[in-house]
Structure 1
Amino acid sequence: MARQMVRALAQECRLSLVEQTKLVTAASELARNALIYGGGGTMTATLVNERGRRGVRVVFVDHGPGIPDIDLALTDGWTSGKGMGLGLSGSKRLVDDFLLDSVVGRGTTVTIAKWAR
């Protein structure tokens, strides 16, 4: 469902096919992380128009254990589980804006955006 919602908004925003694919891939990875590591959560996706530019913003919120070392978590190859360690760092590379906020014991919020060119 996350992929479908983000794809529909990316198309509505008229992102190129390549940019749509990047955004959908990042959203898919972050939704998976929220589910597996955060125990679930919510995703909110919206069309945005800021400072004369159009885009899609997606926010993931979970109430899991949080990330104790964000810099380490954003390092390629590091994983707290059995994955390849590319979910967070790879997602960051695929989008234009990436903001990760996490508090140990409270959860994690990741906000991404992709802007139309």
Structure 2
Amino acid sequence: MSIQSCVTIINEWDIVAARQLGRNVAKELGFGTVDQARITTAISELARNIYLYAGKGQICIDKLNDAGKAGLRIHAADNGPGINDIRQVMEDGFSTSGGLGAGLPGVKRLMDDFHIESETGSGTQIKATKWLR
């Protein structure tokens, strides 16, 4: 069972709104402050990627309940240019924006589960899950 809330990412303020949504849902589910920070950092990175590379997309937060195990899933989706080489963008230190390159590998480390699908010319879908300990 999951309950979903979404923020459309078009400008930098939407990144802030997505972070706030994620923090609120994480707090509501009982995540501690450290995991709340991990979740909001992951959302920030994913939303920033949508804004920078796709121009428009959506961050959705699902509340998860799997056999009594509670969690949260971030679903980042866009119809942007897609990622040519997923393996390359998942390497630490790789950056196309001149940033630190913590990006997607950082999101993967911050979360418990991470799944990415991208097709050149069709966009990218990323799902990242954090389970309540």
| 2:59 aligned residue | 43
Match of 2:49 among 33, 55, 62: 33
Q: TM-score, normalised by structure 1?
A: 0.96
Match of 1:14 among 20, 30, 38: 30
CA RMSD, 1 decimal:
0.9
- CA shift at 1:83, angstroms? 1.6
User: Matches of 1:110 and 1:94 in 2, distance apart?
Assistant: 14
Identity value in percent: 43
Match of 1:5 among 15, 21, 39: 21
Q: Which runs of 4+ in 1 moved over 6 A?
A: none
- CA shift at 1:113, angstroms? 1.0
- CA shift at 1:116, angstroms? 0.4
| 2:127 aligned residue | 111
| 2:8 aligned residue | none
| 1:94 aligned residue | 110
Of residues 42-51 and 91-100 in structure 1, the stretch that sits farther from structure 2 once superposed is 42-51
Q: Over residues 16-67 of structure 1, what are the superposed CA-to-partner deviations in whole Å (9 max), with x where a residue is unaligned?
A: 1111110110111110001101112011112110133101111010111111
User: Matches of 1:14 and 1:55 in 2, distance apart?
Assistant: 9
Provide the aligned length of Structure 1 versus Structure 2: 117
Question: Runs of 5+ in structure 1 lacking a partner?
Answer: none
Which has the bigger relative contact order, CA under 8 A and spacing at least 6?
1
Question: Runs of 5+ in structure 2 lacking a partner?
Answer: 1-16
- CA shift at 1:86, angstroms? 1.0
SS in 1 for 2:54: coil
